[in-house]
């Protein structure tokens, strides 16, 4: 095999590995965003509204409609990509828990896939609610609610459909986190664990971090809409809502497991403390300390066991996500003014 052929084969294998791994979700999100953006331009061109995409007086020469739709397209791509990542790689994410169950690796993988699929099943009523919310946000923000006005504006029609889709994806994600509770079933599958070795349980905190990224990352993308926000109230409301959802997504898997850890911790302490009392009474009666020092050290170690499955890196990463989301919205509110100054806008 020539050197060029060898390099080509290695590159092909690398691209295949990337497409099947976490970067496969990235390419999915990128493809969806590009397809929606191309579709939007083609839609406007077909209906004679291509000039609505451009405005030389605005930053980058794009109209506010075009900027807003580009952000919505990117948000839809991000939501689909993140959902794909959480679903397809769920068995891998939960793999550290498998040795704590009575399931084989293959059986555990099937169990996780079934639970994730059950949590993500479609709920038509919630999909309808999400679509109505998406439609309502567009109509209220534009102040155009008449059928004649809506059907007379190709860009508004597209915005209604895209926003409805984005809100359907968000309501599905919220339902999966709040109503699905797949992590509760996974926690219930754990039969035994070592209180002194919390490492296998930390995947609950890491899973919460991944779900928090869904909301914090989406919020950072949506923050580009702050270019066109003239009031602080909507900005603060959206930021508070998304950070609240991100915090809930982080804590909920860990909260489910915390009950198991707390019960196991209390049971272990309830078993060791009578032995401590017995060894202490023996010492007071003039006997030797025996196992008392070891029992006291074990009790202290148990009391120091954290009931929450978070390690320092997970908490630091969540803090970084929250800061990025907050900074994105606050920065986005100033971007248009900065661009105006740099590019000579009015």
State phi, psi for 290 to the nearest 5 degrees: 60, -125
Q: Environment class of residue 70 by beta-carbon count within 10 Å: exposed (0-12), middle (13-18) or buried (19+)?
A: middle
Q: What value, to the nearest 5°, has the Cα angle with vertex 256 and ends 273 and 241?
A: 135
Distance in angstroms (rounded) separating the CA atoms of residues 86 and 81:
9
Per-residue pLDDT tens, the chain, 346 aa: give them.
455 556 555 544 544 444 445 557 888 888 999 999 999 889 888 888 788 788 777 666 777 788 888 888 999 999 898 888 888 888 888 999 999 999 999 999 898 888 887 776 777 888 898 888 888 877 776 665 555 455 567 788 888 889 899 989 888 887 776 665 677 888 888 888 889 888 899 989 988 888 888 888 888 887 776 655 555 565 667 778 888 888 888 888 888 888 889 999 999 999 999 999 988 888 887 777 778 889 999 999 999 999 999 988 899 999 988 888 877 766 655 554 454 444 444 4
193 CB contacts (<8 Å, ≥6 apart)?
Answer: 100, 200, 201, 260, 264
Taking each helix axis as running N to C, give the angle between helix 154-175 and helix 124-142, from 0 to 180 degrees, rounded to the nearest 10. Answer: 140
The pTM (predicted TM-score) of the whole model is: 0.75
């Amino acid at each position: 095999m020539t050197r060029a052929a060898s390099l080509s084969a290695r590159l092909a294998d690398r691209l295949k590995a990337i497409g099947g791994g976490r970067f496969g979700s990235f390419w999915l999100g990128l493809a969806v965003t590009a397809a929606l953006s191309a579709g939007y331009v083609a839609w406007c061109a077909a209906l004679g509204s291509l000039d609505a995409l451009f405005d030389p007086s605005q930053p980058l020469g794009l109209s506010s409609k075009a900027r807003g739709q580009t952000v919505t397209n990117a948000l839809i791509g991000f939501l689909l990509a993140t959902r794909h990542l959480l679903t397809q790689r769920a068995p891998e994410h939960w793999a550290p828990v498998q040795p704590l169950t009575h399931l084989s690796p293959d059986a555990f993988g099937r169990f996780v896939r079934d639970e994730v699929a059950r949590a993500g099943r479609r709920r038509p009523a919630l999909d309808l609610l999400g679509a109505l919310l998406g439609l309502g946000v567009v109509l209220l923000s534009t102040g155009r609610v008449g059928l004649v006005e809506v059907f007379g504006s190709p860009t508004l029609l597209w915005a209604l459909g895209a926003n409805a889709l984005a809100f359907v994806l968000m309501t599905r994600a919220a339902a999966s986190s709040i109503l699905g509770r797949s992590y509760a079933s996974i926690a219930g599958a754990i039969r035994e664990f070592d209180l002194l070795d919390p490492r296998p349980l930390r995947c609950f905190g890491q899973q919460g971090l991944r779900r928090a990224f869904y909301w914090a990352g989406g919020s950072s993308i949506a923050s580009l809409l702050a270019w066109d926000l003239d009031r602080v109230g909507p900005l603060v409301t959206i930021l508070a809502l998304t950070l609240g959802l991100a915090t809930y997504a982080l804590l909920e898997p860990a909260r489910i497991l915390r009950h198991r850890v707390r019960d196991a911790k209390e049971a272990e302490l309830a078993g060791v403390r009578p032995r401590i009392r017995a060894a202490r009474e023996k010492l007071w009666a003039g006997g030797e300390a025996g196992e008392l020092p070891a029992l006291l050290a074990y009790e202290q170690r148990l009391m120091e066991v954290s009931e929450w499955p978070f390690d320092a890196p997970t908490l630091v990463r969540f803090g970084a996500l929250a800061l990025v989301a907050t900074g994105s919205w606050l920065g986005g509110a100033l971007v248009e003014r900065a661009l105006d100054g740099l590019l000579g806008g009015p």
